[in-house]
Amino acid sequence: MKITENPLHIIGVPMDLGASRRGTDMGPSALRIAGLARSLEKMGYPIERQQDVAVPAPETRPLPQESARYKEEILEISEILCEKVFQTLSANAFPLVLGGDHSIAHGTVSGVSSYFRQQKKTLGLLWFDAHGDMNIPEHSPSGNIHGMPLAHVLGYGDPELANIGGFRGKVDPNHVALVGVRDIDIKERDLIRESGIHVFTMRDIDERGMAQVSREILSVIDTNTDGFHISFDVDGLDPEVAPGSGTLVPGGVNYREAHLLLELCADTRNMVSMEVVELNPILDIRNETAKRVKQLIQSAFGLSIL
């Protein structure tokens, strides 16, 4: 189940139903074109399976409700993804999920959590993002579900989205680290504080440095847990590093800081699953963001300078 022990299943989820602009549905293809699978195989990881979850285009669906846009479609896809991730872990393989917008985390985290729950194990969660992703439908300024997944996996918000996999509360807030945030809505801020998760803003990184902050993150997700999941949103990176994302916020994590965080995660050998989201090739420059994100994924899987 951990990164040095098992083959990889790469699961693409070409979805942009959760966002307000098109393009993240091409994220999985961009990473494949950048040579992600080949790079991981060169590191010694066998790719046992590559598959995609079928996702409808927004243009083929009825007009969405305003408070939770395309909820029914996202719910259905998330249930399918939850089961695929659960079955991957049950087969002693490692799920690497490629998005798609961040609403896919409803399914990914639910699948990992379902497996850990069955095994009576404790899961840690690293959520790398410029945003809090802690909106709920009644408070969301946009109604875009990609701004809600962390709230739902913690058990807040829409009952159906929070109950994917058949239970609420996928992870203990004491073992959740939200990292790189710099753009949070007013009511979302209140829910973040209420939830009790550990938040590491860009100010924390600026003041203490990524090395120290990374150690604090690992004390949250890798102490008294049996492994951790990484949910990596490309917009957590600074736009100069990763222009190919649809919700850019200046002043983000730089390239070396991101590598260091993921290298330190790899050193633990306790990452059990990973997803990468919000890569938008339409907004990219010659697929450079995908190439850089591919290299960051390699760091998470243990690639070192020497």
Is 146 a catalytic site residue?
Answer: yes
d(C-alpha 136, C-alpha 16), whole Å:
18
Q: With beta carbons less than 8 A apart as the criterion, state whether 164 and 82 touch.
A: yes
d(C-alpha 163, C-alpha 174), whole Å:
20
Is 129 a catalytic site residue?
Answer: yes
With CA atoms as reference, report the closest residue to 261 among 227, 293, 299: 299
With CA atoms as reference, report the closest residue to 238 among 258, 221, 257, 253: 253
End-to-end CA gap in the chain: 25
d(C-alpha 228, C-alpha 269), whole Å:
10
- Catalytic residue, chosen from 16, 133, 188, 204, is 133
- Catalytic residue, chosen from 16, 129, 222, 284, is 129
d(C-alpha 29, C-alpha 32), whole Å:
5
Q: With beta carbons less than 8 A apart as the criterion, state whether 257 and 92 touch.
A: no
Is 233 a catalytic site residue?
Answer: yes
Is 275 a catalytic site residue?
Answer: no
Is 229 a catalytic site residue?
Answer: no
- Catalytic residue, chosen from 16, 204, 222, 235, is 235
- Catalytic residue, chosen from 16, 25, 101, 131, is 131
Phi, psi for residue 200 in degrees, rounded to 5: -120, 100
Is 131 a catalytic site residue?
Answer: yes
CA distances from 168 to 8, 114, 157, 198 (A): 28, 10, 11, 20
- Catalytic residue, chosen from 9, 101, 102, 175, is 102
Is 133 a catalytic site residue?
Answer: yes
Encoding tokens for residue 50?
């590559």
- Catalytic residue, chosen from 9, 106, 139, 146, is 146
| R_g over Cα of the chain | 17
Is 267 a catalytic site residue?
Answer: no
d(C-alpha 90, C-alpha 245), whole Å:
33
- Catalytic residue, chosen from 73, 222, 233, 284, is 233
Active site residues: 102, 129, 131, 133, 146, 233, 235, 278
